[in-house]
Each structure stands twice: as C-alpha cells, then as structure tokens.
Amino acid sequence: MSMAGLVILDCWVSPFCMRVKIALNEKGLQYEARPEDLFGGKSDLLLNSNPIYKKVPVFLHDGKPLCESSIIVAYIDETWSSPPLHPPCSYGRAQARFWADYIDKKVFDACGNIWRSKGEVPVEAKTEFIEILKQLEGALGDKEYFNGATFGFVDIVAIPLTSWFFAVEKIGGFSVAAECPKFSSWMKRCLQRESVAKVMPDPEKVYESVLMFRKMQGID
Amino acid sequence: MEGEVVLLDFWPSMFGMRTRIALAEKQIKYEYREEDLRNKSALLLQMNPVHKKIPVLIHNGKPICESLIQVQYIDEVWNDRAPLLPPNPYQRATARFWADFVDKKIYDLGAKVWRTKGEEQEAAKKELIECLKLLEGQLGDNPYFGGKDFGFVDVALVPFYCWFYTYEKFGSFSIEAECPKLIAWAKRCMQKESVAKSLADQEKIYDFVLHLKKALGIEDEVAKETVRAAETAGFFRVVNFMDSAILYIKVKWGILSSSMVRSSCKVIALLEGHAHQRAQEVSKFRL
C-alpha cells in the first residue's frame, strides 16, 4: 500500500477519529480512512505508528504518524491554512485550547459514567453530565459556534462526542434537548454542515454498539 | 509592550513552575501571587471559575488557565525571543504529543508513589520508571527535548525534577539509577537561570509532602471510617468500571458519590455534617 498522501487509521464509532475526518473535510482534503478492528486485532501499522497508546486515530501524512486527535486537528489547521479553524489572535486561541481541553477531560468520561452503569443509573452521574453541558452552553454564549461566527476547532472537538448522546439518553432516561436547549441547537447547526454530516454515524447504530460494549464488559 | 502580567500560583506546583520558566525564558516582568489552596482568593475563583485551580496567568486583566496552554500563549505573544515551540508543524505536533504524555502520566503516577504503600506503590513505581524511560528514548542523544535548544517539552517535564527526591524517599528507589540520561538532562536544564529560579527546593518539597501526608492521613481515616459505617448500614453499592472504581452512597438525603480515579483520592461522604467537611478537605490538595 502506498504511504503517500493522507491516511487515517480509523474506527467508525470513535468520536476521536470523527474529529480528524471533519477537520480534513473542512479543509477540502482527500484522504483514505482505513478501518481498524480494535477488538479482533489491531494492524501492525497502528501498533508501529502509535506504540505509546496503541489507539486510533492515527493520522499519517506521507507516512509520518501523528497521534492524539486534538493535536492532529491542530496540525491539520497549521499545515493547511484555509479555511482557518482557530481564532486569529493569541488570546482567542488560548480560550479555544482551554475549552478543547475541558471537553477532552470531561465529556467522554461523563458519558461513560452513564452508559457503563449496572442497573439504575445514579442521579449524580446524570447531574454531572448535564452540568458539563451547561458549562459548555456558558462558553458558547450567544455565538453561532464555539469558534464564533464560523465553525472551528472547539466545534470540531465537541460535535463528534454528541453522536454518543442518543445512547446516553436512552440508558440514562433523560433528554439533552430538554435540559440544554442551547447546546441542542448548536448540535443541530453543526449537523447541517456537510463536513460533519458525512462523518457522524447514525445514533441508533452507536446505541447498538454501546449495548454490545456493555455485554463485552459484563455489565449486561 | 508587555502590559500587566500576574501569576496566581502555589510554590510547590510543578504546573506553576512551567509558567514561571516560560516567563523567565522570555524575560517578562510579572507579579507573582501565592495562593493558599485551603483558602482560595476571590481573584482565583473569579479568574478560573471552571477548575478553581492554579496556576492562572492574568495578562492585562484577562485570564489564561492550564499550564501548557499558558506556555503556548506566552510563546505566541512574546514571539520575538527564546522560542519554545519549533516553527515546523510536524515538530510542533510531536512536542505537543510528548508534553501531553507528561500531563497524562507523570503527576498521577508520582502522586501514587508518595501516597500509597505495598502493591499499589510498587506498581506505580514500575510504571513511573517505564514512562521516564520512554521520555529518555525520546530525548535520545539531544541535549534537550527541543533538540539543540531548550523547548516546550523541556518546560513541561523539568519541574517534576524537584519532586523526584520526594518520590525516591517515599518509594525507596533511585530514579537516577534507572534513568541516568534523564537526570543528566535535568541537571543540564538546572544550569539555566530560568529553570533554577523557577523550581522549588527539593528538600522543601519533601517537607511539604510530609506535612501533607500527616494531614491527609487523618482525613483519609475519617473518610474511610465513614464509608465503612455506611457499608455496614447497607447504604451503598460499588460499581466497578475499567480503570476507576465508583462508590455510590445512597442515603436519605440523596445519592452521593465517591470516586477513586487513579491516584487522586477524592472521597465525598455525607453521612454526618462534620464528616462531609473533613472529606472536602481531602479533595482540596489536588494540585
């Protein structure tokens, strides 16, 4: 297989892989997404390209590997400058990095605290999840996107995680739209973008996968 | 051109040290303000409402939080001197990757080494050495992680050097014996004024941790007793996740949680009012 060009070692249900694909789509770049079998057997290319974590996504630019989705998205923005995904000023970029870091630290784990619950989902897990989204609503403010008037870095970091929200809502018995309408509106706005819609999986399919993960982990 | 620069910090914090080093490298004049983490200032809570943690960098009244984000900000704003990140995007991504690796691993493993005993401590020591060896591998034959020049990853990692003495004393092991190249690198960094001025004295760190352990030991015991009492009374169930154990204590006032995530022991137990307050004290010392 050719090592030239842009390749992503991928998994369709991984929100972290989705970030990279959305960024590439935003830049209008052609790339090859190679699916990895994360449970059956990771490819040698994956294990060699990401020996530290052995995880997807790995982005290969003419054979040179990059790991960690937020770092990959920043690399894509710095290498292909149009359209810009980061704010133009240093302070704006620091704020963007802060919220991307907050999302990375909080959202996926909070989802996990709900979908991994055995039996009844603790109220506190749901409360914590909603509080995180409300914090993000605060960061969004009256803007169209986290990045301002245009879709950008923080939007790309956040939107893929929402593909897991349907599963979290079903298992948790609550509605993001009811609790956080502003956040829900932002989600819909992003999903209208072709770069995002092309990449985001069917939430029902994600839910099926989550149920499968629960079985695999002995929760169900 | 600098404007007003203030740093809210706590002297033993390796995260605060990163920002101090970056400011010193760029020769930026700033006001250092020491925070009492048991009694956080109104300014700290206002400038970092999301995490309520130090360090906070305040530039012309506007806050920047998270140490690596602060270092990047400093590098971008004062871009006419002592560059910390390389100009090439691939090298920048590599530097960010390794700084992120330091963030993901070293603090929590180090904390486990000084906070725990027995098997848990042994496992933490082993993993800490493995991570430091990976970093040694990344350094290779270069004088710095930045190559010929001191750079972003050097700033991210070198503050931990003043904590190595504490890890070694509590863990009864020698990091230098396992990772001589890394210690040689650290000593090389310490010859830079920006680093030597910014790192705390390793003996002072050890004393600080000794006192902290005494205080936490007592609080942990109270929290543990509270949880044991709740267990006996049949008031909780344990849910085990892949790498975190979540205790839910369901009492008549509602559902409360105690989560032990890696090395940070944050036990929030409300059964008696005073136990809740003591358990809150335990969580305040998360740097």
User: How would DSSP label each residue in B215-230?
Assistant: HHHHHHHHHHHHHHHH
Instruction: State whether residue B90 sits within 8 Å of chain A by CB.
Output: yes
Which pLDDT score is estimated for B250? 34
Which pLDDT score is estimated for B273? 41
Q: What are phi and psi of B90, to 5 degrees?
A: -70, -40
DSSP B150: -
Q: What is the mean pLDDT of residues B22-30?
A: 98
Name which of B50, B97, B256 is nearest A71 (Cβ-Cβ): B97
Which pLDDT score is estimated for B227? 61
Q: How far is CA B153 from CA A2, A158, B64, B150, in A?
A: 32, 26, 19, 8
Dist CA B274 CA B279 (whole Å): 9
Which pLDDT score is estimated for B283? 47
Q: What is the mean pLDDT of residues A129-153?
A: 97
Dist CA A100 CA A94 (whole Å): 10
Which pLDDT score is estimated for B142? 98
Cβ proximity of A13 and A166 under 8 Å: no
Dist CA B16 CA B240 (whole Å): 34
Instruction: State whether residue A214 sits within 8 Å of chain B by CB.
Output: no
Which pLDDT score is estimated for B231? 59
Which pLDDT score is estimated for B226? 62
Which pLDDT score is estimated for B215? 78
Quick one: which H or E segment has residue A59?
Answer: strand A58-61
Q: Quick check: B243 pLDDT over 60?
A: no
Q: What is the mean pLDDT of chain B?
A: 83
Q: Do A93 and B76 touch (CB under 8 A)?
A: yes
Give the model's confidence band at B233: pLDDT under 50 very low, under 70 low, under 90 confident, else very high: low
DSSP A149: S
Say which range, A113-127, A130-144, A157-171, B166-180, has the weakest mean pLDDT: A113-127
Q: Quick check: A121 pLDDT over 50?
A: yes
- Name the E strands within A11-56: 32-35
Dist CA B67 CA B20 (whole Å): 10
Give the model's confidence band at B228: pLDDT under 50 very low, under 70 low, under 90 confident, else very high: low
Give the model's confidence band at A3: pLDDT under 50 very low, under 70 low, under 90 confident, else very high: low
Q: Quick check: B255 pLDDT over 90?
A: no
Q: Do A90 and B255 touch (CB under 8 A)?
A: no
Looking at beta carbons, which residues of chain B come within 8 Å of A118?
239
Q: Quick check: A105 pLDDT over 80?
A: yes
Chain A residue with minimum CA distance to B65: A98
Residues 118-147 of A with CB under 8 A from B: 118, 122-125, 135
Nearest to A196 by CA among A5, A22, A15: A22
Name which of A90, A116, A124 is nearest B256 (Cβ-Cβ): A124
- Kindly tell me the sign of the dihedral angle through the C-alpha atoms of A14, B67, B194, B185: negative
Which pLDDT score is estimated for B213? 86
**Beta-carbon-side half-sphere exposure of residue B213 (alpha carbons within 13 Å):** 16
Which pLDDT score is estimated for A119? 87
Q: Do B255 and A122 touch (CB under 8 A)?
A: yes
Number of A:B CB contacts under 8 A? 72
